[in-house]
Amino acid sequence: MTARSKEIKQFTDAAYGLFIHFGLYAIPGGIWQGKRAPHGSEWIMRNLEIPLAQYRKLAEEFDPKQLSARWYVRKAKEWGMKYLVLTAKHHDGFALFNTAVSDYSVMHTPYGRDIVREFADACAEEGLPFGIYYSQMQDWEHPDGDGNNFDYKKEEKIFSRYFYEKALPQVKELLTNYGDVFLMWFDTPYDMPQDLCRELADTVHALQPRCLINGRIGYGLGDYRQMADNSIPTLPYHGAWEVPMTLNSSWGYHRADLTCHTPATVIGKLIEVGSKGGNVLLNVSPDERGLISELSIRTLDEVGAWISRNAESIYGTLPAPVFPYVTRFGKVGAGRDGSLYLYVEHHPGFPHRVSLTGLVSRVRRATLLCNGTELRVAQSYEIARDEHRCYVFLPETPPDTPVTVIRLETDGAPVTQTL
Ligand code: GLC
């Protein structure tokens, strides 16, 4: 048991969180003087080597009048998300909070209000665990921060000077002034000295012992494993882990990419990650007004409605047992109570049944999660081939879309065959 076992279980049970990338980069929105930033728009300053003197002028027009922290927090809950992570300071070094460390912050803009405070208060009032993203290594404003080698000379940088002048003091401010912080989400540790990573982790634990730390603190010092962006591990992974995921190609708002995953795609990723025991932290990208696209709202509304019909198969699941064959109907999940969940994507042809080979345990009951209907089950064992077969018969028309979830209750914990 670690000091944060309870919080880690809360995290793994949560399964689904909202990531919000917001900052000065929402103003150019990926386009600078007609040039398109490659990849994420939040990297525009570094990728297009925009001089700090020009980029920081964006602060003079930063005024997201339609930003409502309460709207995002309430929608996150409606969408079925169980925690929220907001970028407090991204790689560009601009702080969305009232920091005594630097004038490069939202307090020195026409908006003039502490955005981290607004989200922290809304999360506390709505009962949604609040997480803070902080880019601890990269900082394109501070002369000793990593990443800006076009305004500053890399060979003249002393990283520890930036670390003690800006990063560590700002992390202390975030963990002192904004109430309970559910998790600190660090990013791009690169080759940051291990002793400074440890000092950062120790500081978080000293100020808020129950605050989780993600894996990008570096050197295995986190409470959970942070997978690569939009990357789902091939095999089930026992332990707490999370995949940060975008709805399109950019973390920050990008004028040239207003696409959005379909609800079926998002649900498919939630199921795949959950069936391997992980969390999805799904990102939205407010524009310079503080708003996200109608398309992304519709997508997340639909996903949230599906989750509400199938909640027990999303929250508090475990990595599913391994079956001998890839299940053609879709994925398999596992509940903490020993239930199995069959996520039926492709409604098989007539007879409408799903086939599960390799389940040794006897099925006591099969039901549709969306409406509680009990389903007929047929199990057989072919001795000559030592093969266990299980068929579950479905109604003619798919009871749910885009995925129908069947709960299987077995005699005892489910036992499977492997080849
Ligand atoms: C990468 C990107 C960063 C983004 C993060 C989200 O580290 O550099 O811009 O915030 O992924 O996971």
Determine the residue of 45, 140, 188, 283 to mutate for testing ligand 1's pocket, defined as the one with the most ligand atoms within 8 A of the Cβ atom: 188
Q: How far does residue 135's CA lie from ligand 1's centre (Å)?
A: 9
**H-helix or E-strand spanning residue 213:** strand 212-213
Indicate the pTM of the whole model: 0.97
- Which residues are within 8 A (CB) of 163 and not within 5 positions of it... i.e. 6 or more apart? 136, 196
80 phi-psi bin (left φ>0, alpha ψ -120 to 50, beta other): left
Residue 274: partners with Cβ closer than 8 Å, 6 or more residues away? 15, 280, 313, 314, 317, 333
In the chain, the domains with their CATH numbers are: 5-315 (3.20.20.80), 320-410 (2.60.40.1180)
- Distance, CA 223 to ligand 1 centroid (Å)? 19
Segment 373-386 shows an average pLDDT of 96
Residue 418 pLDDT level (bands cut at 50, 70, 90): confident
Instruction: Write down the pLDDT at residue 3.
Output: 78
| 45 has a pLDDT exceeding 70 | yes
Q: Whose CA is nearest to atom 8 of ligand 1?
A: 188
Mean pLDDT within 108-113: 98
| Residue to mutate (ligand 1; options 96, 136, 187; most atoms within 8 A of CB) | 187
Band (237; pLDDT cuts 50, 70, 90): confident
Pocket test for ligand 1, best of 46, 135, 229, 243 (most atoms within 8 A of CB): 229
- If you measure from the C-alpha of residue 187 to the centroid of ligand 1, how many angstroms do you get, rounded to a whole number? 7
Q: Which atom of ligand 1 is nearest to the CA of 281?
A: 12
**Amino acid 1: pLDDT:** 60
- Is residue 233's pLDDT more than 90? yes
Q: What lines the ligand 1 site, CB under 6 Å?
A: 21, 40, 42-43, 187-188, 229, 244, 251
Cα(35)–Cα(48) distance, integer angstroms: 8
Q: Measured from the CA of 133, which atom of ligand 1 is nearest?
A: 10
Contact 409, 365 (CB under 8 A): yes
Q: Which of 216, 178, 224, 188 is nearest to 14 (CA)?
A: 224
Q: Out of 21-30, 91-100, 236-245, pick the least confident.
A: 236-245
- Give pLDDT tens digits for 157-181: 999 999 999 999 999 999 999 999 9
- CB-CB contact of 8 with 223 (8 Å): yes
